[in-house]
Amino acid sequence: MSASPYPQALVDELAMGRFDQDYIDDALLDRLVEAVAAVRPEVARIADFGGGNGRFLDRLLSRMPRAHGTNYEISAHLRSLNAAPPRKELVATSFLSLDRHSQYDLVLMNWVLHHLVGKDLPATKQLIADAAAVAYDVLKPGGVLVVSENLLQSSFRAGISSAALFMVTRSRLLRPIVSRMRDGKAVAGVGIYYMSETELGSVLARFEPVTTFDRGAHDYGWKLRPIGITCVREKVLVFRKPGG
């Protein structure tokens, strides 16, 4: 492992219980497994970057009986919720510190990119770019990347809304207000960075898009309208590393 040069602002461990959820239901998981198999019929090694309670990886491994999986998870609380089925390893270090050699057939980044928050906006964008580079480098040529993200739509230029959301959620002053919003408690005072689908596409420009699943929209009502956000959609996107 090599140390990451970028310090990350972390969600408080006491708030991590909020992420003990199953975000992807069985029907969507079946479609996802089909989409992966169409691109990469043989999956031997899977890395789940920020795999949380590990249940997504466990469910995936039960559908891929020949695969081995590693959950790279920095939260002690979420690690403690992991079951220990055979063929699964739990690693307590940041995936940003991974040695970058091609070793995985499938990399998962489910609802993680928006938590890669640095001390300011440029540092945050750098962490996200770095995560994309790590995913690219650890995948074998022809390997598959699955990214699940909350993607914003905006009546302003989307970059302005992403930056404004980051500032508002990072602000210590606004913490009492943000913590009362949907999903706000864990990230108030820490920060969150939701991209537009266009920005995510440019972050992952080195990959080939395969398919996208839309899980529907979050309803924030009027609350995010002052910063131009009209809608936040939950999407699961599948990409392929060229080559192989």
Ligand X SMILES: C[S@@+](CC[C@H](N)C(=O)[O-])C[C@H]1O[C@@H](n2cnc3c(N)ncnc32)[C@H](O)[C@@H]1O
Which strands make up the sheet holding 208-218, listed edge to edge? 88-91, 68-72, 45-49, 104-110, 139-154, 229-240, 208-218
CB of 84 to ligand X, least distance (A): 17
CB of 240 to ligand X, least distance (A): 20
Hey, is 68 helix, strand or coil? strand
- Which one of 6, 12, 15, 23 is in contact with ligand X (CB under 6 A)? 23
Span of 49-57, 59-67, 197-205, 218-226 interacting with ligand X by CB under 6 A: 49-57
82 binds ligand X (CB under 6 A): no
For ligand X, which is the closer residue by CB, 115 or 170? 115
Distance separating the N- and C-terminal Cα atoms of the chain: 25
For ligand X, which is the closer residue by CB, 16 or 43? 16
207 binds ligand X (CB under 6 A): no
CB of 156 to ligand X, least distance (A): 26
184 binds ligand X (CB under 6 A): no
**Two tokens, residue 106:** 């499938």
- Which one of 46, 50, 60, 136 is in contact with ligand X (CB under 6 A)? 50
236 binds ligand X (CB under 6 A): no
70 binds ligand X (CB under 6 A): no
Under DSSP, the state recorded for 102 is -
Alpha-carbon distances, residue 206 vs 22, 120, 134, 141, 210 (angstroms)? 29, 25, 12, 12, 13
Which parts of the chain fold into alpha helices (H)? 26-39, 55-63, 76-80, 121-138, 158-170, 175-178, 184-187, 197-203
52 binds ligand X (CB under 6 A): yes
* Residue ranges in 88-147 that form contacts with ligand X under rule CB under 6 A: 94-96, 110-112, 115
**Two tokens, residue 30:** 């079946």
φ, ψ for residue 110 (rounded to 5)?
A: -95, 115
- Which one of 73, 105, 149, 199 is in contact with ligand X (CB under 6 A)? 73
Element (H, E) at 193: none
Contact present, 65 and 56 (Cβ < 8 Å): no
56 binds ligand X (CB under 6 A): yes
- Which one of 36, 61, 75, 239 is in contact with ligand X (CB under 6 A)? 75
Q: Using CB under 6 A, list all residues that contact ligand X.
A: 8, 19, 23, 50-52, 56, 72-75, 78, 94-96, 110-112, 115
